[in-house]
Amino acid sequence: MHRRHFLALAAGSLGAAALPPSRPALALSPAVRLAATTRILDINGRPGTAYGLMQPDGRQGAAFMAGGNFRVDLTNALSEPTLIHWHGLEPPWAQDGVPGLPLPLLQPWEMRSYDFPLARPGTYWMHAHTLQEQGLLAAPLIVHDPADQARDEQEVVILLHDFSFKTPEELLAGVKGKPGAALQPMDHAHMSAQPGMDMSHMDMGGMAMDVNDFQFDAYLANDRTLDDPEVVRVERGGRIRLRIINGATATGYTIDTGTLDATVMAVDGTAVEPLVTRQFPLAMGQRVDLRLALPAAGAFPILARREGAKERAGIILATAGAAIPRLAVMGTDDGPLLTLAMEQRLRTADPLPAPAGDAKPFEAHLFGNMASYDWGMMLPTPLKVQAGQRATITMHNMSMMMHPMHLHGHHFQVVEINGTPLAGAVRDTVIVPPMAKVTIAFDAANPGGGWPFHCHNLYHMASGMMTTMAYDGA
């Protein structure tokens, strides 16, 4: 298969190789053994080859306890190079898991060890920082809070994804347009649908908002489509903590809890002031923790509605003996657009401390269009900070697509939306809708020579919407 290399990222065809013998477990605090491998999923009655991040007992992903260490032995059991990023954690730069920043890809049969402290509990995830992410090379990564062990609640983890039988190279080739096409961020007059492209347009006061890059073959929750969903057995009147991860490459969802009120407890692994809702927007790379109190016996669908389209994914919470409803993949209404309305309501329970001096400001203009499918950012490259410094990044989205922007190795606080200051959520990924302006603040407290800052739409990143943030002297 033709291989595309972009910004030190790698891609390749699916393939598996024999797993070499692992090293002996240490006597104390043995490392979690993870292998990047392949598996077969049932996608609408058709076998689909997907990647996996598996423990020896077949479990996907891993869980840890805050206050301990993240100790993982990662083996590449594929026939192609790969590397895994620990999304939302704050590791030393050398252990972040991005090809070339600074370590190379993990070669077939190669094993690499990771070991660093875990101070912050929360819902995180792990995924390839290559086009292999499209093939479901991703899994949950949960860091439990010791204080939660005494809570009388059942934990349910949901990993959302989008699936295509096409390779990511084929998907990209279908939307790239004419070679050398000039960027025209505000000009939609020459747009034309191309193979594989989902040209959904939403009206924004006379301007066409682009929603969804592709029409995928399936939308998944825990590897299953909604017409064959996972059914999670729960107790009558019980309390549930949903940890929901949007691991999709190019699909935003709105989480819909139906008849159940949900209390938002955390976003991107960080606590927020409790907020009750039944719908919550979740862009690519983002996570949310929702607490539910079940009223009685019954079956309770938890849906993820595709942005601007009728497709849905989800699971069903069901008490013993409850009739399980049959749910259609296609809903009756399009899923809501992902906006900043919820972001404006969120307030962190753990704000950044007052800065010692003035923050160093950066501005980033996000640009691109669907016609030529070129995406990028106008800003200093790399962003240069000094250890201990407070910095802000104001992002202006000059394109007509939403961009979920992710900063590696750091958490940031949302401090301004469209010119209005706020003490918003502490996150690692925030959306910037078309024509919107969002400012984030972070402390330079994790030195490194090149922390990625990029759009978490995989194909926007692959097409140029990625830069780095580096420390002076690193």
- 89-142: pLDDT as tens digits: 999 999 999 999 999 999 999 999 999 999 999 999 999 999 999 999 999 999
Written as six digits, the tokens of 417 are: 């939306």
> What pTM value is reported for the model?
0.89
**Matching fold, domains 32-145 and 218-338:** yes
Q: How many contiguous H segments (helices) and E segments (strands) does the chain have?
A: 3, 33
Class assignment of domain 218-338?
Answer: mainly beta
- 137-181: pLDDT as tens digits: 999 999 999 988 888 899 999 999 999 999 999 999 888 863 433
Just give the CATH number of 360-471.
2.60.40.420
DSSP H or E stretch at residue 209? strand 207-211
In 39-134, where does DSSP find H-type helix? none
Count CB-CB contacts under 10 A for residue 29.
10
In 149-305, where does DSSP find H-type helix? 168-175
Map out the domains of the chain as residue ranges.
32-145, 218-338, 360-471
Dihedral pair phi/psi, residue 462, rounded to 5°? -65, -25
Region label for 122, one of left (φ > 0), alpha (ψ between -120 and 50) or beta (otherwise): left
Q: How far apart are CA 71 and CA 254, in angstroms?
A: 34
Written as six digits, the tokens of 216 are: 């995928």
Q: How far apart are CA 124 and CA 142, in angstroms?
A: 6
Question: Are β-strands 426-427 and 429-432 bridged in parallel, bridged antiparallel, or unpaired?
Answer: unpaired
The CATH number of domain 32-145 is 2.60.40.420: yes
Q: How far apart are CA 389 and CA 320, in angstroms?
A: 54
Q: For position 30, what pLDDT does the model report? A: 87
Report CA 373 to chain centroid distance, whole Å: 21
Give the neighbor-by-neighbor strand order of the sheet with 312-318: 231-233, 312-318, 299-306, 253-256, 279-282
C-beta separation of 213 from 197 below 8 A: yes
Above pLDDT 70, what percent of the chain?
Answer: 87
C-alpha closest to that of 403 among 353, 361, 437, 360: 437
